[in-house]
A and B are shown apart, each in its own frame.
Chain A
Amino acid sequence: MKRLLRDRRGAFGAVILAIVVGCAALAPFVTGGAPTAQGDIVATRFLAPLSTDGTGAFHPLGTDRFGRDVWTRLVYGARVSVGVGMLAVFISITLGVVVGALAGYARGPLALALLGITDFALAVPRVVLLLLLAALWRPSTALVVVVLGLTGWMSVARLVHGEVRALAARPFVEGAVALGARRLRVLARHILPNALTPVIVAAALGIGNAIMLEAGLSYLGLGVQPPTPSWGNMIASGRDVLVNAPWVATAPGVALVLVVVACTLLGDAVRDWSAPRS
Chain B
Amino acid sequence: MLSRLAARALAGFGVVAGVVTLTFFLLRFAPGDPVEHLLGPAATADQLAAQRHALGLDRPIPVQYTAWVSRFVRGDWGISIAKGRPVRTVLGDAWPATLRLVGLSLLLSYALGIAIGAVQAHRRGSRTDTALSVITVTLFAVPGYWLGLMLVMVFTYWARVLPAFGAAGLDADYLTGWDRIVDGLRHLALPLATLTLIGVGGSARFVRGAMIDLGAQPFVTTAHAKGLSPFQVTGRHVLRNALTPVVTLLGLSLPALFSGAVFVEAVFAWPGVGRVLVEAVQARDYPVVMAATAVSAGLVVAGNLLADALAAWLDPRIGKQET
A residues adjacent to B (C-beta < 8 A): 107, 112, 116, 119-120, 122-125, 127-128, 131-132, 135-136, 155, 158-159, 162, 165-166, 168-169, 197-198, 201, 205, 208, 211-212, 215-216, 219-220, 235, 238-239, 242-243, 246, 249-250, 253, 256-261, 264-265, 277-278
Contacts and interface: CB of A to CB of B under 8 A. Distances in A.
Nearest to A254: B146
A211 B18 CA distance: 30
B137 A136 contact: no
B321 A215 contact: no
Given A136-B31, A277-B216, A220 B278 contact: yes
Given A132-B281, A166-B318, A250-B150, A116 B145 contact: no
A216 B260 CA distance: 14
A128 B277 contact: yes
A166 B31 contact: no
A220 B266 CA distance: 9
B31 A253 contact: no
Interface residues of B, number: 65
B262 A127 contact: yes
Interface residues of chain B: helix, strand, loop or mixed (majority): helix
Contact of B146 (A246, A253, A261, A265): A253
Interface string B310-321: 010001011011
Interface of B: 11-12, 14-16, 18-19, 22-23, 26-27, 29-32, 137-138, 140-146, 149-150, 152-153, 157, 202, 205, 209, 212-213, 215-216, 245, 248, 252, 255, 259, 262-263, 266-267, 274, 277-278, 281-282, 289, 292-293, 296-297, 300-301, 304, 311, 315, 317-318, 320-321, 323
The 4 closest A-B pairs by CB, nearest first: A260-B141, A212-B143, A253-B146, A123-B300
Given A123-B15, A219-B145, A165 B321 contact: yes
A237 to B, nearest CB: 12
A58 B200 CA distance: 40
Given A122-B304, A220-B278, A243 B157 contact: yes
B19 A123 contact: yes
B18 A246 contact: no
A9 to B, nearest CB: 8
Given A239-B149, A250-B150, 19 more contacts: A116-B11, A119-B15, A122-B300, A124-B23, A125-B255, A125-B296, A127-B259, A132-B27, A136-B26, A155-B252, A208-B140, A212-B144, A215-B143, A216-B143, A219-B263, A249-B146, A261-B141, A264-B137, A277-B212
A211 B300 CA distance: 24
